[in-house]
Amino acid sequence: MTRIRLVFYLCLPLCHPAHSFEIDQFKSGMSRAQVKEFLGEWNFDNVEDAGSDVTLAFDGVKKETNRLFKFYFCNDRLVTFEQSLKGSVKNFVTVTQNYVRQYGQPAKLDAATNVISNGEKSSMSVYWRVRNDFVGLRYVNLPNGEDLSVSWEVSNNCFQAPRN
């Protein structure tokens, strides 16, 4: 009987649901090298590391594609994928409405206003819990424009998810 209990307790961690997201080819848990390998198929103008835990993929301003992907890593494993969208209040409301239909009411909401060097920055972030992951939508109004991004995050040991 003791052996059965021991086997049960040893196997218990294996039975927990995996924390994971899969967006196109990008899956949580991928290494930075794997992410960069798949980014080659997307034909971004630039792919660069923006620190020990962030990789950016983006097009030049002349293309006007507004493509920007941000990949956040924890211990060289992908834990957050963020994609920029065309920033506007209309797009924020439309995507929010679509996510409410798909995932239900948000699990978390964060609104903030800050003063930055060239004026005021206002932001609204909305997060949905999808199994053990978080899907986030962030709208930022800046003095010189608007920014909108959607993110997928898994819980990790490097920072608390979801990040604001």
pLDDT tens-digit series, residues 1-46 = 444 433 333 333 333 334 578 888 899 999 999 999 999 999 999 9
**Bond preceding residue 106 cis, omega within 30 of 0:** no
Bridge-based pairing state of the strands 77-85 and 68-74:
antiparallel
162 occurs within a structural domain: no
Owner of token pair 């979801």 = 162
The token pair that represents 103 in the structure block: 């995932």
* Percent of the chain with pLDDT strictly greater than 90: 68
Q: Where are the beta strands (DSSP E) in the chain?
A: 22-23, 26-27, 46-49, 54-58, 68-74, 77-85, 108-116, 119-130, 133-142, 145-154
Residues spanned by the domain of 27: 2-154
128 occurs within a structural domain: yes
164 occurs within a structural domain: no
Query: In 3D, which of 86, 85, 77, 94 has the Cα closest to residue 28?
Result: 77
Which of 6-10, 97-101, 128-132 is modeled with the greatest confidence?
97-101
Separation of alpha carbons 28 and 133, rounded Å: 10
Average pLDDT, the chain: 86
Averaged pLDDT, 104-116: 93
125 occurs within a structural domain: yes
| The pLDDT value given to residue 131 | 86
The count of structural domains within the chain is 1
Separation of alpha carbons 73 and 24, rounded Å: 18
| The pLDDT value given to residue 1 | 46
Amino acid at 153: E
Separation of alpha carbons 96 and 104, rounded Å: 10
77 occurs within a structural domain: yes
pLDDT tier at 157, thresholds 50, 70, 90: confident
